[in-house]
Copies of this chain bind each other. A is one copy, B any other.
Amino acid sequence: LAGISQAAAYPEFEPRGRLHIDAGFHDEDNVDMDDGFLNRRARLGVGGDLDELWDFRIEADFAEEGVSAADFRLRRSLDVGRITLGQTKVPMGLNQLTSSNNITFIERATPQNIVPDSRRMGVFYDVSEGMFTFQSALYGRAIGDDADGDMPLGVAGRFVASPELGGGQILHLGVSAAYEDFDSDSDYRTLGFSDRPESRPAGVRLISTGDIDADSTTKYGLELAYIAGPFSAEAEYVNVDVDRDNGSDVSFDGYHAQVSYVLTGESRSYGSGGFGGISPQGNGGAWEVAARYSHMDLNDRDIQGGEQDSVTLALNYYHSSNLRFMGNVIFTDVKDSGAVSDLTGGETDEDSPVTFLARMQYNF
């Protein structure tokens, strides 16, 4: 049969999905938290190729009540780089850009949840050549976030250099920035920055700025990561500057640093300026231990959003590249928080809970 070539039949489809179910238990301090199960992500969708150059993805999330849009996009490969139309992630934050299937801890570090923008509709261009990656976006609002007034307009860019240091070592250096402008008559200008204590089942947000009227925001992020065989580390700093409608500018920042070691020897995969997952090499699966420190400061001028420090210890078991079980213990310290003050009826603005979090996760 040599010599017979077969044309691919387009469109080509692949089912896409993931199920992440969590169980959380809390050693409460001052604020009541909810113990129990949470359906963190349940995504179903389809991806594929329309032809040699164009590919697509539509993936919806059915976690708990309602539906939300993950990637709803069209993408074209160019001679140099790729252009994406529709909704996908705004390029900011190594941890934010890592797929939820591949993040080392059950939740992303709080600064990465608060500052980068996650998914938005827009036009995106990215290119990876050798050790360099460049990503950019011109973006508006997110699907489902349809408020009155003209949509905000944002522009973002990220640049990564990832030299190989020899012996399989990879160094990752990244920088990103985003500017978003809010129309003076739109409801989109009312912002708020807040996060749960790196546990979703908890059901409370211990730090929160409340509503802020913004003319624009300017964000930037710095990324540092390193891989050497089974060892990997990442550290990031993010900052957001809010140009307020009434009142002086306010600025919030945060950072996290983490280390991970795969006991069974596998290496965390890396490519195109970001982390992938871990693929067990033996029949017994892979075991990973990791630790993270994160810090977020939502206090500035008249805004007392709170300051949060978290230390997380993690143990992960990978049955295969698409089936994982995770355990986290999270020590949280919150102080100077108006949110905690509200939640405790003014008794205190500090809270120091310990969270025990487990996840079962598969994806395809």
A→B interface (CB under 8 Å):
11, 13, 15, 17, 19, 21, 32, 34-39, 42, 44-46, 48, 50-51, 54, 56, 58, 60, 62, 64-67, 69, 72-74, 85-87, 121-122, 140-141, 143-144, 146, 148-151, 183, 185-186, 203, 319-320, 322-323, 360, 362, 364
Contact = CB atoms under 8 A, between A and B. Distances in A.
A45 B73 CA distance: 17
A58 B148 CA distance: 32
A188 to B, nearest CB: 9
A42 B13 contact: no
The 7 tightest CB contacts between A and B, nearest first, are A36-B151, A37-B121, A35-B150, A39-B143, A37-B140, A11-B364, A65-B144
A21 B119 CA distance: 15
Residue among A21, A140, A141 with most chain B CB within 10 A: A21
B15 A69 contact: no
A50 B322 contact: yes
B66 A67 contact: yes
A323 B146 CA distance: 26
B72 A67 contact: no
A203 B82 CA distance: 32
Contact of A149 (B34, B44, B360): B34
Contacts of A32: 149, 185
Given A19-B86, A34-B151, A35-B150, 16 more contacts: A11-B322, A19-B56, A32-B149, A32-B185, A35-B151, A37-B140, A37-B141, A37-B151, A42-B58, A42-B60, A44-B58, A54-B319, A65-B67, A74-B360, A86-B360, A148-B203
Contacts of A44: 44-46, 58, 60
Contacts of A50: 320, 322-323, 362, 364
A101 B73 CA distance: 16
17 contacts: A11-B364, A21-B72, A35-B183, A37-B121, A37-B122, A37-B141, A37-B151, A42-B58, A42-B143, A46-B364, A48-B364, A51-B320, A54-B319, A54-B323, A67-B67, A74-B362, A148-B203
A65 B13 contact: no
Contacts of A36: 140-141, 150-151
A15 B17 contact: no
B140 A72 contact: no
B19 A72 contact: yes
Contacts of A60: 42, 44, 62
Contacts of A122: 37
